[in-house]
């Protein structure tokens, strides 16, 4: 058993979902851990992590539109000095996830057929986002 740390940088070009499944699998291939888990941890408070449907782009757009309506930019927020997309980004992040732990068997993440891993960017401006990977296994 050992612990292996790694990092991804995700360059976002505004609000939306960015798939990182393949980049994570490539890091696992290099780490050469056959059995264990990978914990994916997003180090930010204005973007988040989600696993979801990765085949239909329309489904991703529906998810993004749902969050635009549920947590609107034009609500009356007390914390409003960093732009209209700032406070909604913090709330959307609380409603989604920061970390997920995915099983690894025979070196491969055990995702379902339609599961992809996404960074969910909630800010309008481009950002460089850091995703920490911790692989525990043998």
Q: Which of 60, 51, 59 is nearest to 97 (CA)?
A: 51
Count of residues of this chain found to bind a second copy when the rule CB under 8 A is applied: 57
Q: How far is the CB of 99 from a second copy (least distance, A)?
A: 5
10 binds a second copy (CB under 8 A): no
Site for a second copy in 79-118 (CB under 8 A): 79, 87, 90-91, 93-103, 105, 110-112, 114-115
Q: How far is the CB of 117 from a second copy (least distance, A)?
A: 9
Q: Which of 31, 59, 63, 69 is nearest to 39 (CA)?
A: 31
Q: Tell me whether residue 47 is exposed, middle or buried, using C-beta atoms within 10 angstroms of its C-beta: 0 to 12, 13 to 18, 19 or more.
A: buried
Contact, 121 vs 15, CB < 8 A?
A: yes
63 binds a second copy (CB under 8 A): yes
Contact, 121 vs 14, CB < 8 A?
A: yes
CA 110 to mean position of chain CA atoms: 17
Site string (20-59) toward a second copy, x via CB under 8 A: ---------------xxx-x-xxxxxx---xxxx--x-xx
Q: How far is the CB of 132 from a second copy (least distance, A)?
A: 5
8 binds a second copy (CB under 8 A): no
Residues that bind a second copy (CB under 8 A): 1-3, 5, 35-37, 39, 41-46, 50-53, 56, 58-59, 61-63, 65-66, 70-71, 77-79, 87, 90-91, 93-103, 105, 110-112, 114-115, 130, 132, 134, 136-138
């Amino acid at each position: 058993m050992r612990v292996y740390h790694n990092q991804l940088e995700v360059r976002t070009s505004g609000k939306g979902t960015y798939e990182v499944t393949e980049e994570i699998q490539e890091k696992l291939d290099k780490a050469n851990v056959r059995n264990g888990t990978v914990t994916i941890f997003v180090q930010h408070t204005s973007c988040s992590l989600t696993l979801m449907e990765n085949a239909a782009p329309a489904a991703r757009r529906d998810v993004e539109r749902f969050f635009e309506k549920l947590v609107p930019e034009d609500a009356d927020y007390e914390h409003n000095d960093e732009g209209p997309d700032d406070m909604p980004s913090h709330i959307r992040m609380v409603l989604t996830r920061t970390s997920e732990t995915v099983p690894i068997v025979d070196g491969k993440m055990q995702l379902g057929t339609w599961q992809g891993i996404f960074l969910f960017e909630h800010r309008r401006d481009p950002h460089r986002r850091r995703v920490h990977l911790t692989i525990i296994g043998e």
